[in-house]
Structure 1
Amino acid sequence: MWRPRPPTLRLLAAVEVILARYTQLLPISLRQCFYAAVSDGVLEKTERAYKRLGEAVGMGRRSGRIPWEAIRDDTGTCVEPPPTFTGPEDFHTTMRRAAQRYRRDRQEGQAQVLELWSESAGTTTQLARLAEPYGLTVRSGGGFDSLSGKHEAALRAASYKKPLVTLHLGDLDPSGVHVPRALAEDVAAFATTHDCRTELARIAVTEDQVARYGLPSAPPKPTDRRSFTASGTTQLEALPPDRLAALVRTAIEERLNMSVYAQVMERERAERAELLRELE
């Protein structure tokens, strides 16, 4: 039986306070939880403290004190075979359920296509939940800064037949500043070849956000000689989940024609109702 010491019990209590604060945004990643604990003054911003938090949360989940679904692990991959059915009635039931989930392209009629790109894979689940109502694709990790990833972005822009606007989220550090800039330049160059237009808008993390929200920062690595004007580096996951959500929603809605979006949503509801009537 696990018998945590008083310091661990205090840390778990602090984690429970953080999870309660972000009830509507769960699951959050362990690193998001860590930065919240740093902001609350519970932990220092060190790798040792992060490891300690991981061990405590892991045992807390195993013991049942912390719900498994509250923390996002972002590990593992599963590829399943095509769906199967137990018979025609099961197939018809599945079709009715599919009709209940019917949706149109929610960026239909907009002047551009929006995508969300994140440097951190740990934010993918939250970003996907935020982007889903607006019909945005979310991409994360290092794949989009590869040469093939940049070319594929230009090909998507060409297939949309209207500009592709990428809303980029990344760390405030030399890499987080220079990679998006090079990314924008390369994608734009490929886009010119394919006769289409692209734009990259950085929405987080910025120096203004670090100052406004009092985000924790650390000195840049002395071995990184690239130009960097900020006074310190800050990781994307240092942004509290509610702040991140507000920034993403604002960035999306500022770039969408919300009147056109409302019309698409109304058409979607009417067509869904018609499909369900036909299936019944």
Structure 2
Amino acid sequence: MLSAVDAVLDRYREHLPVSLRQLFYVLLSDGVLEKTERDYKRMCEYVGMARRAGRIPWDMIRDDTQIAADAPLSFTGPEDFWRTVETAAAEYRVDRQAGQPARLELWCETAGMVPQLVRIGAEFGIACFSGGGFDGLAGKHDAAVRAVAGGRRTRVLHIGDYDQSGEHMFTSLAEDVIAFAGDAGAQVEFERVAVTGEQVAAYHLPTAPPKTTDRRSFSGTATTQAEAIPPDILAALVRGAVEAQRDPVVYREVLAREEAERRAIREFLARASHPGGRPAE
């Protein structure tokens, strides 16, 4: 099993970290495991031991249960501060959504997918959120406030499970956020990027029967979790949805302005500093 895990991590090395659930679905598609709770728990146990032993690097697997907050920014001294300023100048970015017809956000139902979405979103200046932040009214209202502050049309690209819960969560999110934003005169649209019934068939995703205890309506006959989509396919779907909403000419102009401003800032810092590396008094 661990050899199969190694192969999966190598196959998707450009999309790491992956969650345990994503890893399970890839192994399922590869025929290594069966879709049972027993096999899932066994895989988690083996992967956990391999991580403890150093066989699998810790940063290759995304843990969804830990919530952490960084310590306040601090410095060892003035030299450290100016090195941070120089780094910030080298990484200077403008709003890469400036001038576009709609402000985009990426939302996903599962927190473990956020790092992968961030990799795509960062390129285009798009914020990413997990569904857990929108379960309550406060989270939905915050999304509407962002739409109002954006001053233009907002389009939410959403990734969620293909089941009763996923469909109703998407509908509930859309209805509440659109209503909250509409009351303040802002326009919000929602687009279902994944999972869809067509994608289940096209990519031969593993399925399970709908829960008999869930009586809510469902458009499909079998369910699929979003993490069942292979990471490379998910990345392609998200990138395609983003690029479909972007004006490439405007985007290139923004990148050119960003580079020019970054260069000007670095030149200013170079002129303002003395040989010791600190700005002149």
Question: CA offsets per residue over residues 153-191 of structure 1, 9 Å max, x none?
Answer: 221111111011100110000111112112211211112
Is 1:25 the counterpart of 2:15? The answer is: yes
SS, match of residue 225 in structure 1: coil
Is 1:138 the counterpart of 2:119? The answer is: no
* 1:107 aligns with one of 97, 115, 123: 97
Name the structure 2 match of 1:177.
167
* 2:232 aligns with one of 222, 242, 245: 242
Name the structure 1 match of 2:42.
52
More displaced, 36-45 or 63-72?
63-72
* 2:202 aligns with one of 209, 212, 225: 212
* 1:78 aligns with one of 39, 64, 68: 68
Is 1:222 the counterpart of 2:222? The answer is: no
Give, in whole Å, the separation in 2 of the partners of 1:181 and 1:173.
Answer: 12
SS, match of residue 164 in structure 1: strand
Cα distance, 1:68 vs. partner? 1.8
Give, in whole Å, the separation in 2 of the partners of 1:141 and 1:155.
Answer: 17
Letter of the 2:37 counterpart: E
Is 1:155 the counterpart of 2:159? The answer is: no
Letter of the 1:152 counterpart: D
Name the structure 1 match of 2:279.
none
SS, match of residue 107 in structure 2: strand
Say if 1:167 and 1:270 are closer, same or farther in 2 by CA, change over 3 A.
Answer: same
Say if 1:101 and 1:248 are closer, same or farther in 2 by CA, change over 3 A.
Answer: same
More displaced, 141-150 or 126-135?
141-150
* 2:29 aligns with one of 29, 39, 49: 39
Give, in whole Å, the separation in 1 of the partners of 2:31 and 2:71.
Answer: 47
Give, in whole Å, the separation in 2 of the partners of 1:21 and 1:211.
Answer: 23
Letter of the 1:115 counterpart: E
TM-score by length of 2: 0.93
Give, in whole Å, the separation in 2 of the partners of 1:221 and 1:49.
Answer: 20
Is 1:97 the counterpart of 2:87? The answer is: yes
TM-score by length of 1: 0.94
Give, in whole Å, the separation in 2 of the partners of 1:129 and 1:177.
Answer: 26
Cα distance, 1:49 vs. partner? 0.6
Cα distance, 1:273 vs. partner? 0.9
* 1:267 aligns with one of 247, 251, 257: 257
Question: CA offsets per residue over residues 82-129 of structure 1, 9 Å max, x none?
Answer: 222232222211111110110000000011100001000110111111
Name the structure 2 match of 1:69.
59
Give, in whole Å, the separation in 2 of the partners of 1:72 and 1:83.
Answer: 25
Is 1:195 the counterpart of 2:174? The answer is: no
Give, in whole Å, the separation in 1 of the partners of 2:69 and 2:6.
Answer: 33
Cα distance, 1:54 vs. partner? 0.4
Give, in whole Å, the separation in 2 of the partners of 1:269 and 1:253.
Answer: 21
Give, in whole Å, the separation in 2 of the partners of 1:67 and 1:110.
Answer: 40
Question: CA offsets per residue over residues 36-58 of structure 1, 9 Å max, x none?
Answer: 00000000011111100001111
* CA RMSD in angstroms, aligned pairs only: 1.1
Question: CA offsets per residue over residues 186-210 of structure 1, 9 Å max, x none?
Answer: 2111122101100000000000000
